[in-house]
């Protein structure tokens, strides 16, 4: 009987270790899911901050455009310590809103760089030009999007739970 008792104790110890391991795996899975959902939220928050920056820059550029007598092009000079860039020309429409160099996805990337001085993490933000309303859409993986309509200067920030 002592060997049967010893075998039962070994079996119970093995079962306890297995249960502890299973509990540890469940905890790690929950933490992993929370971590990856937090990464998407940080990405969305970044796009929301860029929304506020874009609104401020558009107001500043349009104000400059009016004070300079409504030129067809304006010179933007972004100076950064990381990489100095030569001043760039920004095309303006008759209503005073900045225009992309070309009406396609690459033009929208260039417009973002001209207005905000650089593109955020390219792996995070997707860029799309929409022909129907002549707008540039910048989208995060979490589903948030920022649209700029070039003809009207309208900026729209949509969250992931917004109904289109």
Q: pLDDT value at position 24?
A: 87
Confidence of residue 143 (pLDDT cuts 50, 70, 90): confident
Q: What is the pLDDT of residue 117?
A: 78
pTM (two decimals): 0.68
Mean pLDDT over residues 98-102, rounded?
96
- pLDDT surpassing 60 at residue 38: no
For the segment 102-112, the average pLDDT, to the nearest whole number, is 94
| Averaged pLDDT of the chain | 84
Structure tokens at 69: 């007598």
| Across 132-150, average pLDDT | 92
Is the pLDDT at 88 greater than 80? The verdict is no
């Amino acid at each position: 009987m002592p060997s049967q008792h010893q075998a039962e104790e070994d079996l119970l110890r093995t079962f306890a270790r297995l249960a502890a391991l299973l509990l540890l795996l469940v905890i790690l899975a929950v933490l992993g899911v929370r971590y990856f959902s937090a990464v998407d939220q940080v990405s969305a928050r970044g796009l929301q901050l860029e929304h506020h920056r874009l609104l401020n820059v558009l107001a500043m550029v349009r104000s400059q455009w009016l004070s300079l007598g409504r030129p067809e092009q304006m010179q933007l000079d972004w100076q950064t310590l990381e990489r100095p860039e030569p001043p760039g020309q920004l095309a303006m429409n008759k209503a005073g809103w900045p225009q992309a160099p070309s009406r396609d996805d690459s033009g929208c990337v260039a417009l973002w760089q001209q207005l905000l001085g650089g593109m955020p993490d390219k792996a995070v933000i997707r860029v799309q030009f929409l022909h129907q309303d002549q707008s540039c859409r910048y989208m995060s993986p979490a589903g948030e999007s920022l649209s700029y309509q070039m003809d009207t200067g309208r900026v729209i920030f949509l969250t992931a739970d917004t109904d289109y």
